[in-house]
Chain A
Amino acid sequence: MAATIAYADVEVGTELPAQTFPVARETLVRYAGASGDFNPIHWNEKFAKEVGLPDVIAHGMFTMAEAIRVVTDWAGDPAAVVDYGVRFTKPVVVPNDDKGALLEVSAKVAAKLDDEARTVRVDLVVRCADQKVLGMSRAVVKLA
């Protein structure tokens, strides 16, 4: 591991640089191909509405993948993430227009877990259209 952020330099409450991630229909088609998840609720508007959704929604795992980028970009080495979990609480609705959806991700150090292992818990807040879309979104990160 080669995290560039030092354990000694962070404290509870330290904020990680927030980021936003645009999501368009094309993004979802690309993610479907790369991940192998071809569930039509992620690309077929007619199907999504038939099963009671407002529109096409993003893959939960896509949102999970974007959210952790705030941590991997901060830590310097993606391998610094030793534990990561989320709860999928609200769907990310992606309309078929030139705007799509926008994921807003912020994060801060919630706890310093282990002085010897130099691990911290980072809590993430992931919002879309003024709603939280992930709950219990936490990573354990091993710092330098």
Chain B
Amino acid sequence: MPLDQSFVGRTYPATDPYEVGREKIREFAEAIGDANPAYTDPEAARALGHRDVIAPPTFVFAITYKAAGQVIEDPQLGLDYSRVVHGDQKFAYSRPVCAGDRLTVVSTIESIKSLAGNDVLTIRGDVHDEHGEHVVTAETKLVARAAEEA
């Protein structure tokens, strides 16, 4: 059964703050093989005008995707996660994620579409810091492939 259109616009409660650690950023930068000193050396990051080391652009996905779990696992929505693939991903930044940030995420169902029997669900994650300032918005499009005929 296709997903219920009336869920479009539904917003979920803000997550508990995620505290961004220098060593977690370092671990992520090493995992993608990126030796940019802005990710590991506070002096180099300050020279670029940042308060502390910054995170690579896609680092925040781990935080927003976990938050999107509220949507994905919402029993009322009824998404069949075993059929889900990641279709598109977008980020719009007000500033880079920085060590020491305490980030909260509010997830919203941006759209629900049905394409050739597939459900296409777009979840927006608005990320703010401990001062309430916008940091980044992530938009994740998930495609739930049509169930095969039984």
A and B are partners in one complex rather than unrelated chains: yes
Main secondary structure of the interface of B (DSSP, over half): mixed
Q: Is the CB of A69 within 8 A of B91?
A: no
Interface contact A35-B31, CB-CB below 8 Å: yes
Q: In the complex, what residue of chain B is closest to A31 when comparing beta carbons?
A: B31
Q: Is B109 an interface residue (CB 8 A)?
A: no
A73 within 8 A of B: yes
Residue total for B at the interface (Cβ-Cβ under 8 A): 34
Cα distance A76–B57 in the bound complex, in angstroms: 14
Q: Is residue A66 within 8 Å, beta carbon to beta carbon, of the partner chain?
A: yes
CB pair A21–B33 under 8 Å, yes or no, is yes
Q: Is the CB of A88 within 8 A of B92?
A: no
- Give the contact-size bracket for chain A: 20 to 34
B residues contacting A by CB (< 8 A) are: 27-28, 30-34, 36, 38-39, 47-50, 54, 56-58, 61-62, 65-66, 85-93, 95-96, 139
Known interface pairs A61-B58, A61-B89, A82-B92; 15 further A-B residue pairs with C-beta atoms within 8 A, sorted by A's residue number: A30-B30, A34-B30, A34-B32, A37-B62, A65-B34, A72-B34, A77-B48, A79-B50, A84-B90, A84-B91, A85-B139, A86-B89, A86-B90, A87-B88, A88-B87
